[in-house]
Chain A
Amino acid sequence: MTAALIALRAILHREALRFVTQRGRFIAALVRPLVWLFIFAAGFRAALGLSITPPYQTYITYEVYIVPGLCGMILLFNGMQSSLSLVYDREMGSMRLLLTSPLPRWWLLTARLIASTTVSLLQCAAFLGVAALWGITLPWQGYLAAIPALFVAGLMLGALGLMLSSFIKQLENFAGVMNFVIFPMFFLSSALYPLWKMAEASPRLRDLCAANPFTQAVELIRFALYGQMNLPALGWTLLALALFGGVALWGYDPARGMVQRKG
């Protein structure tokens, strides 16, 4: 095995061990989307039924509609948390250690991104499992096709977090990130309402939501969960991944001195 793969495997292994030992983090990440599913969506079930648009083939309840968006929410939170933890807390030490490795920096950062996305995927699997127990089941091809879709979406959102962590010094706490990144991205997306429904309210709003990379990620996941490919959504998500990833790598260039900033 090459040095690069040995390092990737070790970074994945470490993330998995941390995941197992920090059970609180796992539960918290699972409770958040479940609260939305059980309370918010259940409450709207009567008020909001959705007509038939792809990928759906029958009339669906609101709960069924928001499942892909809630998977996206897990990826979004984790992506922000794992990168921004660098800016404030003790994870900076482990980042320093990581960067003293003689492997190329872009590879080390990519490996870290892959590892944190893999953990997000496990959380999505747990969430879909609970949703299935609650009666929201999907076609089996959907569960399979969702794996690569969730992975690409998770990488993109993780890269966004990494990019923000290298630039935004004033995001002093997670509340700031919630208010200025997570909430706008989540609410101005197709996670909670379909775009055509937004267009009824305002075409402007619809356009804004369509331009949101999170919308593209959610649509990619939504189609995948029904065993279908949404090529435009995949294209936009990959483009956003390339952009955020590229800027993040630039942000972590040693000549910019980002790693010294804290401690």
Chain B
Amino acid sequence: MSMTAGLSLQTVSYAFGAKQALRDVSFAVEPGTFCALLGPNGAGKSTLFGLLTRLFTTGQGSITVAGHDLARQPRAALARIGVVFQQPTLDLDLTVRRNLLYFAALHGLAGREAETRSMAALDRLGMAERAGELARNLNGGHRRRMEIARALIHRPAVLLLDEPTVGLDAAARFAITDHVHGLAASGLSVLWATHLTDEVRPADQLVILHRGRVLANGTAADISAGKPLSDVFLAKTGTPA
């Protein structure tokens, strides 16, 4: 069993009743690695995120986060995870700062500590000057950045993002993809779910998920082997990316 300071999954399966959503999913994301989880609609990406954040659990397989088994030490594991869900989870009527402080408190942070960490996280995403704005008044790209900043406040070891660029224009998409590659370079294990091949860089780790199974796991450059990644993806899944 691989023990990593990052994220690791061993033979994880999950079914919604009779519908098998994940089958024997195994892979690991080391610290400092940007791992793209590439899969078409319905591949099981969000289901995997639900399991990784313990919104629900499975009896099959195991998940470790920063050395903590999610089933045996759920709270220690959750304390090391930052997550951006596919559906936004903002309080639109509250300011950016308030949204971040609320989240900080959910991780036991208050007072000056929460303030400085929130501001530092916003700063890291280039959002410091928007701290006082209502979330409702931010554009889609800035809302997503705010969610990413929020996910960093408690200094997680593992950052999970479920299709964080959906609905954003090309510039915002590029900026966010770039930011998160920077976060991985600074030492986080990043798992980035997407169905867009152009968000994957050659040096990234790439896991291709299709109908709940892992079809490939390696560096993107190795998997695409000189061909455009979208062609490889189409060939493997029968679905254009």
Could you tell me which A residues sit within 8 Å of B by CB distance?
1-3, 6-7, 9-11, 13-14, 17-18, 21-22, 92-94, 96-104, 108, 254-260, 263
Contacts and interface: CB of A to CB of B under 8 A. Distances in A.
Contacts of B110: 1, 6, 9-10
Contacts of A10: 101-102, 105-106, 110
A103 B85 contact: no
Contacts of B108: 2-3, 6-7, 102-103
Interface size class of B (residues with CB under 8 A): 20 to 34
Interface string B1-24: 000000000000000100000000
B109 to A, nearest CB: 7
A14 B89 CA distance: 14
B56 A7 contact: no
A258 B50 CA distance: 11
A4 to B, nearest CB: 8
Interface in B221-236: none
B140 to A, nearest CB: 15
Given A6-B108, A254-B57, A101 B91 contact: no
A217 B202 CA distance: 64
Contacts of B63: none
A263 B88 CA distance: 11
A3 B104 CA distance: 10
Given A7-B105, A92-B87, A260-B50, 8 more contacts: A9-B110, A13-B102, A17-B94, A93-B88, A96-B55, A97-B85, A101-B106, A260-B47
Contacts, number: 95
26 contacts: A1-B110, A3-B108, A7-B108, A10-B102, A18-B91, A92-B87, A93-B87, A96-B53, A97-B103, A97-B106, A98-B106, A99-B53, A99-B55, A100-B54, A100-B55, A102-B78, A102-B108, A103-B75, A103-B106, A104-B75, A254-B54, A254-B57, A255-B57, A259-B55, A260-B55, A260-B56
Contacts of B102: 10, 13-14
B76 interface: yes
A21 B93 contact: yes
B83 interface: yes
Contacts of A259: 50, 55-56
